[in-house]
Amino acid sequence: MRGLSDLWHRTRSLRYLVVGAGNTAFAYLVYALGLVFGLPVPVASLVSLLCGIIVSFATQGSLVFGHLSPLAFVRFVLNWLVMYLIYVGLVLGLMAFEINPYLGGLAALVVTTTISFITLKRLVFRLPGRDDAANESPVVASPRATPPVRAEPR
C-alpha cells in the first residue's frame, strides 16, 4: 500500500486523472440531472459548470497542484468560462449531426478535460518563479515520504 501512496504523492498526472475523474463524474451527473428535469443544454451545462467550478477548484488546487489562492481562483473561473463555451459549442455542433445531448456531452467532456489539464497546469496553477519543467511534477510533501535516493557514480 505504501507504494501506491508514494506514487500518488510523486505523480501529478495520476492525481489529475483520479481527481479529474471524480470531478468529471460529478459535473456530468449535474448536467444529466439538469436535462432530466427539462433544462435546455446551455442551462444544464451552465449549472453543471458553476457547481463543478467550486468542487474542482478545491480538489484540483489542493490535491493535484498544491496551490490555492484568490488569483488562481480568478484564473480558474476564466479558464472554465472558456471551457464552457467550447463545451456548449461542441454539444450543439454534435446535436446538429443528430447525436443526442447525453452522448454529445460525454464527447465534449473528453475534449474539454484534455484542454483544461494543459491550461490548468500552464496558466492557472503555475507557481510564480518556476519554469514549466519544475512545475511539471512536483513531489507533494507527505509525512511518510522518503527522500529520493541518488545513485553514486562508479
Q: Residue 1's pLDDT band (boundaries 50, 70, 90)? A: low
Q: What does the pLDDT look like over 88-126, one tens digit per residue?
A: 999 999 999 999 999 999 999 889 888 988 898 889 988
- Closest Cα partner for 112 from 23, 36, 33? 23
Rg (CA), the chain: 18
End-to-end CA distance of the chain: 33
- Closest Cα partner for 64 from 18, 97, 28? 18
Show the CA angle centred on residue 78, arms to residues 77 and 84, nearest 5°.
85
- Give residue 88's pLDDT: 93
Show the CA angle centred on residue 23, arms to residues 111 and 142, nearest 5°.
115
Q: Which amino acid is residue 145, in one-letter code?
A: A
Q: What does the pLDDT look like over 64-86, one tens digit per residue?
A: 888 888 899 999 999 988 998 99
- Give the least confident one: 6-10, 23-27, 47-51, 67-71: 6-10
